[in-house]
Chain A
Amino acid sequence: METSEWIEKFVLIVILFLVTLGIAAYLTYFERKVAAWFQDRIGPDRAGPFGILQPLADGGKLFFKEDFIPFAAEKWLFILGPGIAMFTALMTGAVIPWSTDLVLFGQEIALQVADVNIGILFIMGFLSIGVYGIMIGGWASNNKYSLFSAIRASSQMISYELAMGIVVITIVMMSGSLSLRDITNAQHGMNWNVFYQPVAFIVFFVCALAETNRAPFDLPECESELIGGYHTEYGSMKMGFYLFAEYVSLFTSSVVIAVLFFGGYNFPGMDYFEGNTLALLGLGALFLKTFFFVFVFMWIRWTLPRFRFDQLMHLGWKSLIPISLINMLITGIVTAFNEGWF
């Protein structure tokens, strides 16, 4: 790679990192506001105008808390847990194609950190590693509630990853590529996957809820049974990392949904634009879709009560996996038919 390319990628990574963290911080604020609106309240409004400095106040508070490690905890794993959770949550952003190429200083800059040809596989891989953050943290705490939570989290994430993976296979069949850039380009204009694969979208959405441990699948951290779940023993910024990682993965999974099913940076009427205008509009379109899904995630959280654990397993294994398998089968047959195999 040339020096300019190094610089370009480095700048892109730094921007992506900061933007993801900033968005995650403000999602905590947004979540509290949305919850308040759904419950006929106002929400945080004390720190700054409309409370927009609330995330800074929360972060500052977490930094100044005592960084406590329980006596009986496995010290290094206890520290490693939140780190892994944060790392895996942030890594998924690397393969997302944020928009079409941007021309700056006479150079074409791809708004994608790494256009790997197995992009979606990379995301699935990091999703599965993501469970380690919770598992290690829950186990290292040496607390029975944390351990219960870790067991729940791992079984839940493994069960829902299956259905998710099968759904991803159907999408890959549609576009014939594992690269997220190709998957996005195959949905040019309004040719979005959701119109061809509505069932796959619903299954993927439900799985995404379960993978991000959000209501109604927030069993790993249900307050009423497990105190706080895997982060019961955590405090200070380590606790902050876990909470933060949850919002980062909320953001990234919304992006992934937008990319896989809602055309990513494609928008109707995109043929009338070109160059940098198209790139910026595409970026705006992707963010619009993403924030819509973030809102839907929150909407669901403040509407539905938590599942029971057996219902969760029942839904995952006996409903979502058969549905996604049948869906994959039909998609396969139709694809083969279109390709002229019969």
Chain B
Amino acid sequence: MTMQSLSNRKKVVSKKEMTFMERIYLPAIFGGMWITFKHLFRKNNTLKYPEETREFAPVYRGQHVLKRDEEGRENCTACGLCAVACPAEAITMVAGERERGEENLYREEKYAEVYEINMLRCIFCGLCEEACPKEAIFLTDRIVPSNFERDGFVYGKDKLVESMDDRIDITKRQHTGKRGVI
């Protein structure tokens, strides 16, 4: 008794002899050559990489940035929510208290003395960005460059905090705009 097909998608293997036209191969060969010939005139999709780069999707998640507000004060208050949210345990920080005279550096009384992201641990999921209540951390469309040392992948504030001369555009990311211009 033959098994009943449940999916109705089974195909019986055909072992029929090739017909004369199939056996002389030439019609099939010319058919194939016609197909490849048509490809000669087709537009190629090659991107000449170092000169041209493909545009990133607006939601692309690359290297992080720690934002400043429009007066140049760091947004981050070292609340640690990003570190808690991080599934890869890539973020660590040490909180510090703002001294008198540092009001132009830090937006609130508490700030991050040390803020480190291990780029080898980071999975670029964007949960830190989502957890941040101060709109301080964002993922950008920059690619983390390669490095010869493991230590080189631990990014401190020197690499993460944006400079006021060269602000990082994050308009494509979700944000409320409460924390100043982007």
Residues of A within 8 A of B (CB): 36-42, 45, 202, 299-300, 302-304
Contacts and interface: CB of A to CB of B under 8 A. Distances in A.
Nearest to B25: A315
A299 B39 contact: no
Contacts, number: 32
B8 interface: no
A36 B43 CA distance: 12
Contact of A37 (B26, B33, B40): B40
Contacts of A40: 39, 42-45
Contact of B36 (A41, A42, A45, A303): A303
Nearest to B43: A40
Q: Is the contact region of chain A dominated by helix, strand, or loop, or is it mixed?
A: loop
Given A40-B39, A304-B32, 8 more contacts: A39-B39, A40-B42, A42-B46, A45-B48, A202-B26, A299-B33, A300-B29, A303-B35
A38 B33 CA distance: 10
Contact-residue bracket for chain B: 10 to 19
A303 B32 contact: yes
Contacts of A304: 29, 32
Interface of B: 26, 29, 32-33, 35-37, 39-40, 42-46, 48
Contacts of A302: 36
B33 A300 contact: yes
B19 to A, nearest CB: 15
7 contacts: A38-B39, A39-B39, A40-B44, A40-B45, A41-B46, A45-B48, A304-B32
A38 B44 contact: no
Contact of B37 (A36, A45, A299): A299
Given A37-B39, A299-B37, A42 B32 contact: no
